[in-house]
Amino acid sequence: MLNEHEKEKYNRQLILDNFGLDGQERLKQARVLIAGAGGLGSPISIYLAAAGVGTIRIIDKDVVSLSNLNRQILYNKKDIGGKKSLLAGNKLKKLNSDIKVEAIAETIDNSNVSQLTAGFDIIMDATDNFQTRYLLNEAALKIQIPFIYGGIYGMEGALTTIIRGQSACLKCIFPSSPPPLPCQSPVLGATAGIIGCLQAMEAIKYLSHTGELLLDRLLIFDGLYMNFRKMKLNRNPECPDCGRFSSRDNKFGGFVKKP
């Protein structure tokens, strides 16, 4: 149950249509995994913490460097050389002391992905490579939780919400991974902010049972010319990751709404 302090703190979202005390209570009970504490992980974690998501686990093995600071708004100059996950954890606890934050300084790989994702309600993609994204996509399908993909390049980006049996998965959309980006690939901080905030919005909608999810749609943002476009996605019946799951094979009931 929400206490009086929480009711006041979250008042401005509690009065949203179709959100209410129930929606806030669901956020409080929710456990969200954020894979990556960089450009996307910064806005995702800040907005989910501020919104009152009860438990946030943030995973990243990297340390902060000077060239991160144009977009990784969890950190400042004093943080350079420190572990991102631990710094992020401290920052998020200061931002909202009523939530639980777990910081894990590990690389997500085949050997630990099941253990790291077990018991969570949703996985937020804030990674910078497709090898890890495919692992998380598979893990989310296996334990029947949503995976919110986001990716950025320069002043452009894209996102979609993936739910087993309800939407195309990452392998349906991109059957093979692009080569890893060079470390010097271009990116504007505001691009990460826009895509990360949209991912956070999807998570809050899902967790609070509000609105319609971005299922089977890839939203593409073009900041250079300020266009948003939605592309239709289709499940690949022969997808190696999700082809075997039927559309009836989901545990989400009636609140998963498609556009």
Partner 1 sequence: MNAIRLAGKFRKLVNGLEEINFNDVSSISECINRLEDLYPGVKAAICDENGEVLKIIDIFVNGDNIRSLEGLSSRLKDGDEIDIISAFAGG
By CB under 8 A, residue 62 contacts partner 1:
no
Integer angstrom CA distances of residue 181 from 92, 116, 186, 189: 28, 25, 10, 17
Nearer to partner 1, 14 or 194 (CB): 194
Region of 50-58, 95-103, 114-122, 216-224 interacting with partner 1 (CB under 8 A): 216-224
**Using an 8 Å Cβ cutoff, are 232 and 169 in contact?**
no
Helix, coil or strand: residue 235: coil
The set of long-range contacts for 25-30, using a CB threshold of 8 Å and a minimum separation of 24, is 25/1, 26/207, 26/208, 26/209, 27/51, 27/52, 27/53, 27/54, 27/204, 27/207, 27/208, 28/2, 28/52, 28/53, 28/54, 29/54, 30/54, 30/55, 30/121, 30/122, 30/207
Among 153, 228, 247, 258, binds partner 1 (CB under 8 A): 153
Among 129, 144, 197, 243, binds partner 1 (CB under 8 A): 129
By CB under 8 A, residue 193 contacts partner 1:
no
Instruction: Return the DSSP state at 114.
Output: H
Nearest-approach distance from CB 143 to partner 1, in angstroms: 22
By CB under 8 A, residue 63 contacts partner 1:
no
Nearest-approach distance from CB 87 to partner 1, in angstroms: 17
By CB under 8 A, residue 231 contacts partner 1:
yes
Nearer to partner 1, 196 or 211 (CB): 196
By CB under 8 A, residue 182 contacts partner 1:
no
Query: What spatial distance separates the first Cα and last Cα of the chain, rounded to whole Å?
Result: 32
Among 146, 150, 165, 193, binds partner 1 (CB under 8 A): 150
Around Cβ 170, how many Cβ atoms within 10 Å?
A: 24
Secondary structure element (H or E) that encloses residue 91, with its range? helix 84-95
d(CA 139, CA 145): 9
Question: Which tokens go with 119?
Answer: 């018991």
Around Cβ 1, how many Cβ atoms within 10 Å?
A: 7
Nearer to partner 1, 111 or 176 (CB): 176
Among 143, 220, 243, 252, binds partner 1 (CB under 8 A): 220
By CB under 8 A, residue 229 contacts partner 1:
yes
In the shown chain, the binding pattern of residues 196 to 215 toward partner 1, with x for contact by CB under 8 A and - for none, equals --------------------
Nearest-approach distance from CB 149 to partner 1, in angstroms: 9
**Contacts with partner 1, residue ranges (CB under 8 A):** 36, 38-41, 125-130, 150-154, 156-158, 173-178, 180-181, 185, 187, 192, 218, 220, 222, 224-225, 227, 229-234, 236
